[in-house]
Amino acid sequence: MFTCCYTLLTAVAWLVALPILFLFSFRKKYRSSIPARFFLWRNTPLKPEGVWFHVCSFGEARAVAPLVERFDPGIRRLSATTQTGFESIQTLSAEQSRYLPFDPLLWFWMKPQKALVVMEAELWYLLFALAKRRGAATFLVNARISDRSWTRYRHFAWFYRRLFAHVDRVFAQSEADRKRLEALGARHVTVVGNIKLGQIPSPTRSFEKPEGYLVCAASTHEGEEGEILQAFRELKILRPESKMVLVPRHPERFEKVWRMMRSFGRLQEWRIARFSESGNLMADLTLMDRMGELINCYAVSDLVVLGGAFEPIGGHNAAEAAQFGIPIITGPHYFNQKDLFAGVEGLTVVERDKLAEALRYPKLLERSCLKQTENPLEIIEKEIRNVL
């Protein structure tokens, strides 16, 4: 009865939203995702009898890639919610990568699979319920519930209890996550840590390191770039040979960030460049306007300013930079990455108004490093293979 009522309500919501969805489908950001997810345009079902991995966006797709690669390409099935997520999973299985349709459309779209593996907080009721009903073993991996989200989850505990009734195994990031998930009705919860620490990606190519001290401003968000540029100016006064590569988190912000960099750089009489045009990091200030190059920037950097935490956003993956043993400065608002940050030593955490002071004397900063942890990928892989 609950499944029928849920399907009816989401179907009504879908019908009501159709005009708005149609208009949004003309925007560049949603040009492929909305037609595929809400109209099934060029979105054929995945082949049956495979191991189906579902992610939300680019970050989750990158995190789950090492797990996906442990399985034969012939049984890989992948889906994503966002455009960046879809583009990323295509590198893992071009023929069997799809956008995840909106919940009620899954009745017509979903084929029986051997296993469904869902990343983090992609808790779509019909995704789990129908996959389970059609014979799949269901897994939630890298599961977490942040401090910020916990209150909202508790308000809808009645809903999540019904959802978790269709989830066979849950692999949580931390003990706190386990307790919260079990309070919502999750069963068979195992704490394995963050899978992003299980296999950190290596550089895909080598950049020529420029002369001088190279700062990488990584995964920055709205409201952070201006403060970072001001702080970098303080460093450059003391060390004129210093250079910076700025890597915004979201590609749709490249143009806006470039305009800011260009205006700021001209005032300082710096050389500025876009990586897509120069192909190197030799300018005083370079915009990294290509996806997938952040790890390559880390490999040649002397220091990282990690965004997403100077504003109340939740933080980003510090482990990718820490593998190179370089100093990392980040902000205090890393509430979505607490477990991941716990696996890294030597982080320098400062408020945004103290960033310039921290960056001014980089030799005084502690170098980061990864703590020794078990590999959660091996644990999860074993459980999935037990049902194949």
Q: Answer whether 172's CB lies under 8 Å from 145's CB.
A: no
Angle at CA 180, nearest 5°, toward 342 and 178? 55
Of the candidates 60, 120, 225, 227, the residue annotated as catalytic is: 60
Q: Answer whether 106's CB lies under 8 Å from 14's CB.
A: no
- What tokens does 283 get? 């300018």
C-alpha 57/C-alpha 52 separation (Å) is: 16
Dihedral pair phi/psi, residue 142, rounded to 5°: 60, 35
Dihedral pair phi/psi, residue 63, rounded to 5°: -70, -35
DSSP annotation of 92 reads T
Is 252 known to be catalytic?
A: no
Contacts of 101 (CB under 8 A, 6+ apart): 36, 37, 38, 40, 43, 109
- What tokens does 314 get? 């939740």
Among the listed residues 264, 190, 272, 177, the one whose alpha carbon sits nearest the alpha carbon of residue 229: 264
C-alpha 283/C-alpha 277 separation (Å) is: 12
CA torsion sign for 22, 24, 30, 31 is positive
Angle at CA 384, nearest 5°, toward 381 and 388? 125
What residues are annotated to the active site?
60
